[in-house]
Amino acid sequence: MSVFPELIELIKHSESMNDEERQYWINILPVMTPEQIDNLQSILENEKKQLAEIDKRYAAGSDVQKTGEERRKRREERQEEELTAEEAEERQTEDLLLKIEEL
């Protein structure tokens, strides 16, 4: 089987085949025509490329999700700080009003 090392690696790592299908393709490689071998290799290389692109997009999506979560967290923290500042300002205002009334 060392005649088709690259193709065998593609077959072994194909995500669209189960073990039985992988073994089938490896077993029939010696009797396949060159055109069939080229077609199989092309299909498996295309599958590998498309899955790599999907993984890349998914990873980018994870980054977007992570960034979104960080923004949400910062927004919540800012809102909490603003609320705390507003409460402190209200207390100061009430204290000033009480002092004015006492005069």
What's the number of domains the chain is made of? 1
Question: Both ends of the chain: CA-CA distance in Å?
Answer: 101
pLDDT of res. 21:
94
Residues 49-98: pLDDT tens digits? 999 998 888 877 777 778 878 888 888 888 898 889 889 899 998 888 88
The backbone region for 18, taken as left when phi is positive above 0, alpha when psi lies in -120 to 50, beta otherwise, is beta
- Structural domain for 49, as ranges: 5-102
Judged against a pLDDT cut of 60, whether residue 1 lies above it is answered with no
pLDDT of res. 2:
61
pTM: 0.58
Q: Is the Cα torsion angle 68, 71, 77, 78 positive or negative in sign? A: negative
More confident position, 43 or 102: 43
CB-CB contact of 17 with 11 (8 Å) = yes
